[in-house]
Structure 1
Amino acid sequence: MPRQQTPGGVDLSRARSTAAAVTSLTALAAMSLVAGPAVADSGAGPCALTRTAAHHSLGLDSWNRAYPKPERTLDAVMVFLSFPDHRPAFGTEEIAADYFPATSEFFERASYGRFHLVPHPQQRWVPMPRPSTAYGIQRDWAPEDRAAYLRDAVAAADAEVDFGAYDVVYFVADPDAPGVDSDATKVVNFDRPIRADGGQLRRIVTVFERHPPDRNVLAHETGHVFDLPDLYHRPTDGKGDWDTHVGDWDVMGSQFGMAPDLFAWHKWKLGWLDASQVDCVQSGSSLHTLQPLAEAPPRGGTGGTRLAVVRTGPGSAIAVEARGSAGNDGDTCTEGVLVYRVRNEAASGGGPIEVLDGHPQTEACWDRSVYPPLADAPLEVGETFTVPGERITIEVADRTRSGAYTVKITT
């Protein structure tokens, strides 16, 4: 993730302006493709895009079983790594508290209680055999250095950690070691799974965050473990804005976002929304009542419709959802109906989701938004938006007393 810091605050008024096994390990960074068998998702429906070979494809007609699906309780081990060139200044309990229970709570809210991430932080620092400066840790890590780091880390921890007992693995480096670069935090996939403790390690989350870490950084990286893509735009020259695709509106775009709940499309992919909560829009005009995405459902209920989808081609769709000040979106500075385009052939980091700006001539929340031009993207009651390049019109007709939006979609 890019490192950006934004101030906090809320203003709902719209202001427009196993050592032998790993000796031959080859590690691939999170943007590389990990193939896996598909399992059909019978609840996908006719508006679901087909999963493609693109890394972290947002097609959701099937699930790539190389990734754990977060529909149940998953166990995550957190291994803390120290180095001979620095003595850790903090205990492992303090470092673990940087990430949990906050990360578990993020997913508990995002999944409407359908997914539980249970952390198992280890009790002591595991010593690495070489100084932190020996591994060349940085964002664009040399593959041989990254492989050496992971080889040493797995070997050092294997005697104490039963890797086969966990669904998710976090390797957390001493944040103050001289060779540690916080920008190197990412998920590393293996081109071939590693056998360890009777199981297979397909990927490891390598954490190099400072103490305290960036907000929601582990939620972002854990999203990759569940086959979610990066939604930010990385400029080819390293300059420019990273948040032009989705702004504040999903943690996979920015860990600093004011409204970082996962898009409804992501929740559909992960199994947290079922077919009854997704309206597949056909030709003509139709009315849809959309409950705010981050709002918890009533006890014993599903929470109503959360997403409306218009299929625009074999590999693309327009998605419509409501965003309000609740749950993971509690710090948002605007509310309304958000419209975005989804493409199944765009790989992670290649713009698989693009938020469509309902107010392209204005911006909002410049003092705390990661990308003010999209901070006022949602439509308010009484506003109409025509999707550029498509014969699709979206009108926000009303908002009910419960906070749901009545939306008219014409195709």
Structure 2
Amino acid sequence: MSRARHPEVDVPRQHGSGGVERPSLRGVAAALTSLMALAATGLVAGPAVAAARDAGPCALPRTGAHHSLGLDTWNDAYPRPDRGLDAVMVFLSFPDAEPVVSPQVLAADYFPSTTEFFQRASYGRFTLRAEPQRHWTRMPHPSTWYGIQRDWGSERRSAYLRDAIEAADEETDFSDYDIVYLVADPDAPGVDSDATKVVNFDRPLRADGADIRRVVTVFEEHPPDRNVLAHETGHVFDLADLYHRPEDGKGDWDTYVGDWDVMGSQFGLAPDLFGWHKWKLGWLSGSQVVCVQGDSDLTLEPMAEVPVPGASLGTRLAVIRTGADTALAVEARGATGNDRTTCSEGVLVYRIRNTTPSGGGPVEVLDAHPDSDACWDRSVYPPLADAPLREGERYTVPGERVRIDVADRTRSGAWTVRITIGP
């Protein structure tokens, strides 16, 4: 099974001279043909923003960094998953291969598991409603013609997107959907599973009266990497890549956050989203987030625990502002919900940087046990697998006047924590 990471691609769309927005994707095909220069890696420009809810003194401001973890405002170029969203899954076949598996089988690789992941992560506040198509949509060229690979040539990638959208538009009303998944036949000879990623357009395509700002291009093997679609869908919600991509493509990818968030690794043992992400997405509100500005005693509920209907979420996240662009986050992680396969339980501490772009390390998990590791047979990065503080342990954050003591664990499974700020 591949252990690949799939960076996004940001695609400048060349503007037409007349500025006319056509009503259907068939009419926009010519614009897609001229999606040059696709090789560009510049960041997508930020649009107008809407105020985020529950922004307080510990909420870092959003910056111009790609997928900035600032959360005082929301980037309106992305759908915010604080309501139900609809997704279409289009299955693409090629003239040089007869599909071995059906669209129904491939759809079952991703749903309902991806929907269930987000339902648990959001405590039932968000539902991803997927509508997989039941037939193959034929592409006009052989799979080998498109040159599909991780670092894809701009001309052939442009042709792939153009052809896929043109073909799908015959039977798809894109105005019905918030998210578009383009799934290639995994057995076609030219399909490379390492090429799965989100493609962003700096100027949205206008189709069926709606804007298409990005598509998720899926080239996974069957069966696919675990939680891969949850990771890619996270980008659709303006979440950053948390892994480290070595310059030579070799070495550890998981030195920043290890197993502790699906945006770091889809293979993580504790892939539930960080509390900071849940705050950004609107799944945690002010009553579940404590802004620590002095010595504080807290009881932290496990981040991944989904309460019974009608029960309170309790306090899930503690935040200490450490600078204009930095903060510390403290949360409890237990073997429940999306974290049920975790290697270790306890109180996790991590650093947030709102000016660091996707893939550059905007989140750094702080290791409370730097001289040990755990779960070598399962963890994506064993040195961080035992990062959380356990009962009776104390941790002083390097470079900060912050000390965290974990007193005990309650009978219900929550952790009692004291945070001290000062000399």
Scaled to the shorter chain, the TM-score interval is: over 0.9
Confirm whether residue 171 of structure 1 aligns to residue 179 of structure 2.
no
Distance in 2 between the 1:4 and 1:300 partners? 40
1:320-359 residue CA offsets vs partner (Å, 9 max, x unmatched): 0000000000001210000000000000000000000000
Deviation for aligned residue 1:30:
9.0
Asked which structure has the greater RCO (Cα within 8 Å, sep 6+), the reply is 1
Q: Which residue does 2:8 correspond to in 1?
A: none
Distance in 1 between the 2:121 and 2:168 partners? 32
Confirm whether residue 289 of structure 1 aligns to residue 299 of structure 2.
yes
Q: Which residue does 1:321 correspond to in 2?
A: 331
**Contact 1:32–1:189 (Cα < 8 Å) also in 2:** no
Indicate how the Cα distance of structure 1 residues 330 and 239 shifts in structure 2: closer, same or farther if over 3 A, else same: same
**Contact 1:29–1:189 (Cα < 8 Å) also in 2:** no
Q: Secondary structure of 1:121's partner?
A: strand
Counterpart amino acid of 1:337?
V
1:109-124 matched pairs, under 5 angstroms: 109-124=120-135
Counterpart amino acid of 1:238?
G
1:104-123 residue CA offsets vs partner (Å, 9 max, x unmatched): 00000000000000110011
Q: Secondary structure of 1:218's partner?
A: helix
Distance in 1 between the 2:209 and 2:52 partners? 29
Q: After TM superposition, where is structure 1 displaced by more than 6 Å over at least 4 residues in a row?
A: 28-31
Q: Which residue does 1:13 correspond to in 2?
A: none
Q: Which residue does 2:46 correspond to in 1?
A: 35
State which of 254, 257, 269 in structure 2 corresponds to 1:243.
254
Confirm whether residue 3 of structure 1 aligns to residue 3 of structure 2.
yes
Indicate how the Cα distance of structure 1 residues 71 and 286 shifts in structure 2: closer, same or farther if over 3 A, else same: same
Distance in 1 between the 2:331 and 2:384 partners? 15
Distance in 2 between the 1:66 and 1:44 partners? 19
Q: Secondary structure of 2:290's partner?
A: strand
1:10-409 matched pairs, under 5 angstroms: 18-21=25-28, 22-26=32-36, 32-283=43-294, 285-409=295-419
Counterpart amino acid of 1:120?
E
Q: Which residue does 2:14 correspond to in 1?
A: none
Q: Secondary structure of 2:206's partner?
A: strand
Deviation for aligned residue 1:155:
0.5
Figure out how many residues of one structure are paired with residues of the other and give that number.
Answer: 398
Distance in 1 between the 2:288 and 2:42 partners? 31
Q: Secondary structure of 1:98's partner?
A: helix
**Contact 1:48–1:60 (Cα < 8 Å) also in 2:** yes
Q: Secondary structure of 1:275's partner?
A: coil
Deviation for aligned residue 1:301:
2.8
1:174-226 residue CA offsets vs partner (Å, 9 max, x unmatched): 00111100010000001211111111110000000000000000000000000
Counterpart amino acid of 1:379?
L
Give the TM-score, by structure 1 length: 0.94
5+ long unaligned stretches in structure 1: 6-17
Q: Secondary structure of 1:377's partner?
A: coil
Counterpart amino acid of 2:353?
R
**Contact 1:28–1:188 (Cα < 8 Å) also in 2:** no
Distance in 2 between the 1:266 and 1:242 partners? 20
**Contact 1:363–1:372 (Cα < 8 Å) also in 2:** yes
Counterpart amino acid of 1:394?
I
Indicate how the Cα distance of structure 1 residues 295 and 115 shifts in structure 2: closer, same or farther if over 3 A, else same: same
5+ long unaligned stretches in structure 2: 6-24
Counterpart amino acid of 1:289?
T
